[in-house]
């Protein structure tokens, strides 16, 4: 009886700490997943890249379900470094591998998303794509000017001196 009175609070505190630790781990995984889902149409965003780089930290390769996440991340990461593939082929493969990664993460976190939903349900306004393309073209043009590959057209207009 005395032992139960002494050990009861200690066991309760340890159990609470254990459960809090599990909850925090799940919340960190959820944060990574939610960020990747929210930014899946914008793979170059810093938030997307940071979330990808947190996968190795937050998911455990010793857990069977989570190992599938790590393996999908490896396949995706390997593709990101591939050169020599046509951009159309590369983008198709990148999308498929990202969908696989997100699907595996959804399984770990008990979301019931299918791959079609993950692939087709993100929203990306055309205006953002247009802005990104315009900025890309501006950067390339400016680089050409600065490297001397392209001239900057100028017109000199004389001001009337009356």
- Model confidence over 74-99: pLDDT tens digits? 999 999 999 888 989 999 999 999 99
> What residues contact 40, with CB distance under 8 A and at least 6 apart?
48, 98, 102, 118, 122
Whether the predicted pLDDT of 123 surpasses 90? no
Higher pLDDT, 140 or 3: 140
Question: Integer distance in angstroms from the first to the last C-alpha of the chain?
Answer: 109
Q: Which residues of 16-49 are buried (b: 16+ CB within 10 A; e: fewer)?
A: eeeeeeeeeeeeebeebbebbbebbeebeeeebe
Whether the predicted pLDDT of 18 surpasses 70? no
- DSSP reduced 3-state for 42: coil
User: What is the pLDDT, as a whole number, of residue 25?
Assistant: 86
């Amino acid at each position: 009886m005395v032992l139960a009175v002494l050990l009861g609070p200690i066991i309760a505190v340890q159990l609470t700490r254990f459960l809090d630790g599990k909850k925090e781990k799940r919340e960190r995984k959820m944060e990574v997943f939610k960020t990747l889902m929210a930014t899946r149409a914008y793979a170059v965003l810093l938030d997307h890249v940071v979330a990808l780089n947190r996968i190795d930290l937050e998911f455990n390769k010793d857990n069977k379900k989570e190992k599938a996440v790590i393996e999908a991340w490896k396949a995706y990461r390997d593709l990101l470094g591939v050169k020599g593939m046509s951009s159309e082929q590369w983008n198709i493969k990148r999308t498929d591998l990202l969908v696989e990664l997100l699907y595996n993460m959804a399984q770990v976190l008990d979301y019931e998303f299918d791959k079609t939903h993950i692939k087709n349900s993100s929203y990306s306004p055309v205006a953002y794509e247009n802005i990104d393309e315009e900025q890309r073209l501006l950067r390339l043009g400016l680089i050409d000017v600065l490297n001397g590959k392209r001239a900057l057209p100028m017109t000199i207009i004389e001001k009337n001196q009356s």
